[in-house]
Amino acid sequence: MAKSENLSNAPQTTEAGVPIIEVKHVSKQFDDGKFALNDVSLTVQKGEFVTILGPSGCGKTTLLRCIAGFQVATEGDILLNGEDVTDMPPHKRPVNTVFQKYALFPHLNVFDNVAFGLKLKKIDDKTIEKRVKQALKTVGMTDYEFRDVNSLSGGQQQRVAIARAIINQPEVLLLDEPLAALDLKMRKDMQMELRDMHKLLGITFIYVTHDQEEALTLSDRVVVMNEGRIQQIGTPTDIYNEPVNCFVADFIGESNILSGTMIRDRRVAFCDQEFDCVDTGFGENAPVDVVIRPEDIYIWKSERKHTDDVPDQSDYDPDDRVPKGNFTKWYGIVESCIFKGVHYEMLVKTDNDYEFMVQDYHEFAPGTHVGMLVKPEDIQILHKEHYLYNYFEGEVLKNGMVRFIDADWEVRPDQLEPFAAGDRVRVQVPFSEVDLQDYEDEGTLSGEVHFILYKGNHYHLTIRTDEGYDLFVHTEDVWDHGDRVGIRIAPESITLSKLDVENAQS
């Protein structure tokens, strides 16, 4: 049994490289068939502060609850210190949880709440008293022992909840959105205290949050989750500067995401212009997504257009802030400008109708003509996950229709010509030709707007049909997450080709 002195004399350096928790291919399927976790694997090192970050419903809490033992994974294993704990009940696991709504026992006072775990272990009263005092001191709640927990503020209740968990000297402390119910100022203070506590105690922290700023501030490593899958694992800087896909780029911080083409190594085209960049290995003329953080864009007053060849004398850069050099520049008019405390956030429409979000310490009022540039190293290139066309596998029906994604669609007769009824075909539908209707019964199929990405001059939507298929749509119309839509595809937009095995997958 570890002595209470460990609370204060914890090792300052963490034992790097010793895995304490291993989550191996864990899936959790609920009764309705939906996957809350889908083949999740994660290794947490001893002493680490790991944050699981994602939007609500992404499976982050389910993952935490599987580690705590409140939920049992449908598939896969969870190892704690190398021991399989997948089916071990929560009271036998050497982990403790801090709950989102504190979950303090209302019938017990602060002392008895904190002592709850120790009393179960039949430890003598003197030791209990000493350790409760120490735990309360750690969370800054000395002298609150005999207060009624209901009389405490949210922040104080959360401190007691933390004390109640750490007093058991767990090997891993699980925190389920512990600060979500606190106001902003209190949350910031508690974030710092949690960091200090983590250093002081030397315990492994696994922290669940939907607040990306909190995740970046607190953690050694961030695990970004979406739809039951891990999207990216990395240090806060990695996650922010090198997002692996559009979801991560969009979810972490603000970003401009545009469709582009990688012309060759270190040269990318987007927004009708070519730019130098630092990425290589995408091939030639490969479709890519380009991510530019709004704070990485330099902005200055300028009357030019991107089509002007000669240098313009009207460029205005009195502070000499804009880097000199042979950078590709682009130009536009400020549409809106909001003061954000430290910086201004501007929406700029370029002369060729792309929208950029730009952050700068200087104010550029709406209507100002501006020039913009970005340094090559600040352009982040991503592989395009989906490009221009939806592909489905379908079947030609007797009545001259084609059945795919669980619906029957009309197609042009010339498309049908090479095929006979019963043939399996590959169906191709351009993103831009999927027609969304306001009323779901106006479509051949109905579905829901599942994910929205603004690409500078159009929206890239993911529509999930009621049957569970995903359709990608390019549109200039504004939709909201969760909107119900009717889906129509005009017969002339559907192209059929022979189904070969390789293409069937894409």
Partner 1 sequence: MKWISVFNSRRTWAWPYLLFLVLFVVLPLLLIVVYAFTDPQGQPTLRNFVQFFHTQEAVNTFIYSLAIALITTMICLLLGYPAAYIMATAELKTPAVMAMLFILPMWINFLLRTLATVELFNMFSIPLGGGALLYGMCYDFLPFMIYPIYNTLQKMDTSLIEAAHDLGANRREVFTKVILPLSKPGIYSGIIMVFMPTVSTFAISELLTHNKITLFGSLIQRAFGEGGIMMWNYGAALSLIMLVIIAVTSFFGDKEESSSQTII
Q: Binding-site residue total for partner 1 (CB under 8 A)?
A: 24
CB closer to partner 1 out of 91 and 185: 91
Please report how close the Cβ of residue 195 comes to partner 1 at its closest, in angstroms: 23
Whether residue 448 contacts residue 482, with contact meaning beta carbons closer than 8 Å, is answered with yes
CB closer to partner 1 out of 68 and 288: 68
Q: What is the dihedral of CA 232, 237, 243, 246, to 10 degrees?
A: 100
Whether residue 171 contacts residue 93, with contact meaning beta carbons closer than 8 Å, is answered with no
User: Looking at 160-168, 192-200, 212-220, 404-412, which segment touches partner 1 (CB under 8 A)?
Assistant: 160-168
Long-range contacts of 140-146 (CB under 8 A, 24+ apart): 140/193, 141/110, 144/110, 145/109, 145/110, 145/111, 146/109, 146/110, 146/111
d(C-alpha 132, C-alpha 112), whole Å: 9
CB closer to partner 1 out of 99 and 454: 99
d(C-alpha 366, C-alpha 424), whole Å: 55
Please report how close the Cβ of residue 99 comes to partner 1 at its closest, in angstroms: 5
Binding mask 310-329 for partner 1 (x = CB under 8 A): --------------------
* Binding test (CB under 8 A) with partner 1, winner from 116, 389, 454, 469: 116
Please report how close the Cβ of residue 110 comes to partner 1 at its closest, in angstroms: 15
Report the candidate in 351, 361, 359, 308 with the shortest Cα–Cα distance to residue 331.
351
Residues 6 or more apart whose Cβ sits within 8 Å of residue 88:
69
For 468, the 3-state DSSP assignment is coil
CB closer to partner 1 out of 165 and 489: 165
Task: Count CB-CB contacts under 10 A for residue 272.
Answer: 13
CB closer to partner 1 out of 175 and 216: 175
Residue 347 interacting with partner 1 (CB under 8 A):
no
d(C-alpha 443, C-alpha 431), whole Å: 16
Please report how close the Cβ of residue 96 comes to partner 1 at its closest, in angstroms: 6
Please report how close the Cβ of residue 70 comes to partner 1 at its closest, in angstroms: 5
d(C-alpha 345, C-alpha 336), whole Å: 8
Tokens of 241: 């500067």
Please report how close the Cβ of residue 489 comes to partner 1 at its closest, in angstroms: 41
Please report how close the Cβ of residue 174 comes to partner 1 at its closest, in angstroms: 9
Residues 6 or more apart whose Cβ sits within 8 Å of residue 169:
2, 6, 7, 203
Residue 268 interacting with partner 1 (CB under 8 A):
no
Please report how close the Cβ of residue 114 comes to partner 1 at its closest, in angstroms: 10
Please report how close the Cβ of residue 149 comes to partner 1 at its closest, in angstroms: 11
Residue 2 interacting with partner 1 (CB under 8 A):
no
Tokens of 125: 């009263």
CB closer to partner 1 out of 100 and 495: 100
User: Looking at 77-85, 114-122, 237-245, 304-312, which segment touches partner 1 (CB under 8 A)?
Assistant: 114-122
**Exposed (0-12), middle (13-18) or buried (19+): which is 281, by Cβ within 10 Å?**
exposed
- Strand extents, DSSP E, 91-192: 95-98, 172-176
User: Looking at 116-124, 331-339, 343-351, 484-492, which segment touches partner 1 (CB under 8 A)?
Assistant: 116-124
CB closer to partner 1 out of 128 and 249: 128
CB closer to partner 1 out of 121 and 340: 121
Residue list 239-258, contact with partner 1 (CB under 8 A): none
Residue list 166-225, contact with partner 1 (CB under 8 A): 168
Please report how close the Cβ of residue 29 comes to partner 1 at its closest, in angstroms: 17
Please report how close the Cβ of residue 97 comes to partner 1 at its closest, in angstroms: 5
Residue list 52-111, contact with partner 1 (CB under 8 A): 68-70, 89-91, 95-97, 99-101, 103-107
CB closer to partner 1 out of 43 and 100: 100
Q: What is the 3-state secondary structure (H, E, C) of 273-284?
A: EEEECCCCCCCC
Instruction: Tell me phi and psi for residue 478, to 5 degrees.
Output: -95, 125
Task: Count CB-CB contacts under 10 A for residue 355.
Answer: 17
* Binding test (CB under 8 A) with partner 1, winner from 164, 293, 426, 455: 164
Instruction: Tell me phi and psi for residue 276, to 5 degrees.
Output: -80, 145
Report the candidate in 24, 2, 18, 1 with the shortest Cα–Cα distance to residue 204.
18
Residues making contact with partner 1 (CB under 8 A): 68-70, 89-91, 95-97, 99-101, 103-107, 116-117, 120-121, 164-165, 168
